[in-house]
Amino acid sequence: MAIATIAYTAAAGGMALALSTTWLALRNRTRFSKARETLKADLTAKDLMLRELDAATTAFDEAFLAVEGDTVRLVWGDDTLQQCAEALGIKAADGDIAPQVVRALGDTSAEAADGLKELISQGKWCRFEVFAETPKGLTGDGQQKNAGLTVIVEGKSSGATAWIRLAIAGARASLSSGPFAQMAEHLPAPCWICARDGRVVWANAAWLKAVEATNLEQAVQANLTLDRNVDGLVVEALEQRTRREGFRWLTVGGQRRAFQVIAEPLNEAYVCAYVLDVTEAEESREALKRHAKAHDETLDALEDAVAIFGAEKQLTFHNRAFEKLWDLEPAWLAERPTHGEWLDRLRQKRRLPETSDYSGFKTRESEFFGLTHTADDEMWSLPDGRSLRVVRQPHPLGGLLILFSDKTGELKLKAQFNALIQVQKSTLDQLNDAVSVYGSDGRLRLRNLAFDKFWNLQAEDITAVMDFADLAELCLPLVHDRGFWAELKARVTDTDPLARAPQLGEVKISDGRLAQWRTQPLPDGATLVAFSDITATRQLEKAIDARDEALNESVRLKRDFVANVSYELRTPLTTIVGYADLLQAQTNDNPKQKAFLDSIQSAAQELARSIDDVLDMAQIDAGEMSITRTDVRLLDIVAEVGTRLADTFKARGVHFDYSGVKETGVVRVDAKRLGQCLEHLLGNAIRNATSGGSVRLDARKDEDNLILEVAYTGRGIPYHVQAHIFDRYIGRERGGPGLGLALVKALVELHEGWITLESEPNEGASFKIHLPGQSRAGQSVPEMAPSEIASTVSPKASTEAKSSDADDGTVASVA
């Protein structure tokens, strides 16, 4: 390129650079001029704001302190700081007063000290108030003794600097002065103000009286409070900065009173607390609780089931009968189920009446909650057969009260009662007597068909509750005596228990009949009156009397005939016995004649005994026989009977065993008649015992009874004969009247005893005599030895006596 070109290019470049630099300089100058004007305007505005803030801070009593480490300096508010220092008792001549004011503020309370410490060391925000007494001259000569300043202290941190703002709320009177404080002084309820540390800074007269202090300084020094729990509630309200309420029973003036405690925070530093006396309300509430409890206990003691559902249809109360009636779990009921849930539970347990539309049933039951009056009673028939009466009524406190009464037993009794009435009426209708029942008011309650027939009355003539007097008018045609009917009515309507006694009488009826009337008081106060036609009865009685007289005459003739016949038989029998004895003595070793004579003597003795039995039975029938009980030794009676039967035992080859020596001893009986009984029983046993068999007589005492058992081995007594064995004139196999056992039965009954029989075919028989009245028998007669019994029973036979040492007595055995 040419040099000219290069020079031209360089000149052009330089010119462009100069122009660019000039334009840039002009542009920067313009921008800097605008920025200067903006800063100048901003400075003017800030200066104005600063002057306004200065004027504003000057208008308020405030001071700002900056704390950096241990250095405290005043930033603003020299006058306010000076005023606070003087109020806190710091003099200006004491040097820099800013640190002293901070220390004095921290010394006013623990709350202030903790707040300043946390602000300076940790940078935490704090705010509290300090009430400082004001010296005279600060607020004028007229300042009261308790005048002072309330200093609001607020602290915040910014970086490493802690800023403290002191603001004077104004020179004012103390808390105890002013219209509101004076009003609080006259409140009857204790009221007080506490600082953040719980210290009481003001209290009214009622509070001082409650804590028994003359002034606040004394209460603070003695640390007097209403109650520690109340103090805790106040501190809790201050810490949480929210209203707190509580209830306490306190002793004030020697009386136990109920108070509602209220703590209301005034600001971050103070809380106002006061109590309201609610003793009367609490006593009323407790009385209401006791009344409700007594009411619940009363309902709980009822046999009827009671349930109360509240306005929300939840179960609020039930008694024990309700649990038992529906068989519901107490834990489930304690959960307060709703009315619908209760119905569903009963349906699950099949406790509700059977219905095809359960939804409709449940809806109808829910509609009862809108009742304004008691609903009509309703009957529920449950699947288990119970019948319940259901009563529903609105509850005074809202909701529904339901009462269930189990009427199953009542309905059953009513049905049984109605059935019983019908049975009684049907029974009375079957009677021939004319029966009527009258109430204590004299009105007819019940009558049978025979009543209408007896008095010739028609059913339409008698009303259901006809009076006795009206009914008597209908009966006058048959019984004309009005006095009789008046007396009968008096017995029906008389309420005197002594006069209400059964009565009996007879009355003549005009148609010729003879009627017997009877009155019978009934337990329910009613009276039964019955009329019986005794005309035929009286006629029959006359016939029976005549026949009885004839029968007695025939019995007398029979007794006389038996006595005469017996007497007539004894004379030839005595002759036969006498000649037989004579021939027996004259017989010389002629066995055949001797056998004939023995047979004659035996038959004569048997006939004599039969005649004696007939005479005894006739005497018993005539009621002329009596027994005489004496203390006798039973062994003597047995020995005497054994002596008479010894030859018979020997002839039949029968063994005789007797036991019961020690058990018997002395007995209280008629010895002659008891011996007669034993002789007949032993004789019967000998006749029926097999040859070579045995006959046993056992005697023992069972408390007051003497038991004599006669048993033998042999053919026994057939079952069809046992029922009549003690009847008279039962024929024996060899002929003749069988009076022996019948006489035994009669003689035992004269002793007030009884006899029993036990027998099996081909196994023998056992007769037991039971004689009572043995507890009075004496013990003075000695017992007989077993050997004596054996020798007495069979003096000619070989005798073997053996005794046993067992406790059940000694046994004698004779062959």
Q: Cα(263)–Cα(247) distance, rounded to whole angstroms?
A: 12
Alpha carbons 541 and 524: distance in angstroms, whole number: 36
Task: Tell me the two tokens of residue 85.
Answer: 């220092």
Contacts of 441 (CB under 8 A, 6+ apart): 493
Between the alpha carbon of residue 778 and those of residues 579, 630, 632, 666, 781, the distances in Å are: 46, 9, 9, 6, 8
Q: What are the pLDDT digits (tens) for 162-201? A: 888 888 765 444 455 556 666 777 788 889 888 776 778 8
Distance (Å, rounded) from C-alpha 279 to C-alpha 274?
Answer: 15
Asked whether the beta carbons of 148 and 87 are under 8 A apart, the reply is yes
Confirm if 806 and 792 have CB atoms less than 8 A apart.
no
Cα 479 to Cα 511: distance, rounded to the nearest angstrom = 9
User: At residue 206, what is the residue type?
Assistant: A
Q: So what's the pLDDT on residue 709?
A: 92
- Is residue 450 within 8 Å of 433, Cβ to Cβ? yes
Burial of 148 (0-12, 13-18, 19+ CB in 10 A): buried
CA distance 685 to 696: 9
- pTM value > 0.85: no
Distance CA 165, CA 63 (A): 6
pLDDT recorded at residue 143:
39
Query: What pLDDT shows up at residue 553?
Result: 80
Q: What is the residue-wise DSSP string for 729-786?
A: TPPPTT-S---HHHHHHHHHHHTT-EEEEEE-TTS-EEEEEEE---TT--S-SPPPPH
| Amino acid residing at 620 | I
Give the CA dihedral 574, 580, 581, 584, nearest 10 degrees.
180
CA pair distance 574, 490, nearest whole angstrom: 76
Give, for 245, the enclosing helix (H) or strand (E): strand 244-252
pLDDT of residue 512: 84
Quick one: which of 502, 459, 456 has its CA closest to 447? Answer: 459
204 touches 190 (CB < 8 A): yes
- Please write down the HEC assignment for all residues of 137-184: CCCCCCCCCCCEEEEEEEEEEECCEEEEEEEEEEEECCCCCCHHHHHH
What is d(CA 650, CA 815) in angstroms, rounded to the nearest whole number?
8
What residue ranges of the chain have pLDDT lower than 50? 135-146, 171-174, 733-737, 781, 783-815
Q: Check residue 594 and give its pLDDT.
A: 74
Cβ neighbours, 10 Å, residue 811: 18
Alpha helices by DSSP H, 384-519:
408-429, 449-454, 468-475, 482-493
SS3 (DSSP) at 525: coil
| Nearest in space to 673 (alpha carbons), one of 752, 605, 766, 728 | 752
Q: What is the pLDDT of residue 332?
A: 92
What single DSSP character describes residue 253? T
Q: Which residues contact 219 (CB under 8 A, 6 or more apart)?
A: 200, 203, 208, 211, 213
**Whole-number pLDDT of residue 95:** 63
Identify the three-state secondary structure at position 51: helix
Q: How far apart are CA 724 and CA 722, in angstroms?
A: 5
Q: C-alpha distances in angstroms, 161 versus 124, 155, 347?
A: 12, 11, 79
320-345 in b/e burial notation, b at 16+ Cβ within 10 A?
Answer: ebbbebbebeeeebeeebebeebbeb
d(CA 658, CA 788): 12
Tell me the β-bridge partners of 309. Answer: 315, 400
Q: What are the DSSP calls for 189-211, one per residue? A: S-EEEEETTS-EEEE-HHHHHHT
Cβ–Cβ < 8 Å for 120, 103: no
- 313, 399 Cβ separation under 8 angstroms: yes
Q: What is the pLDDT of residue 755?
A: 93
Residue 337 has what pLDDT?
Answer: 92
Query: In the sheet where 71-76 sits, what is the strand order?
Result: 71-76, 62-68, 161-172, 148-158, 126-133
Helix, strand, coil percentages (3-state) for the chain, rounded to 5, are: 45, 25, 30
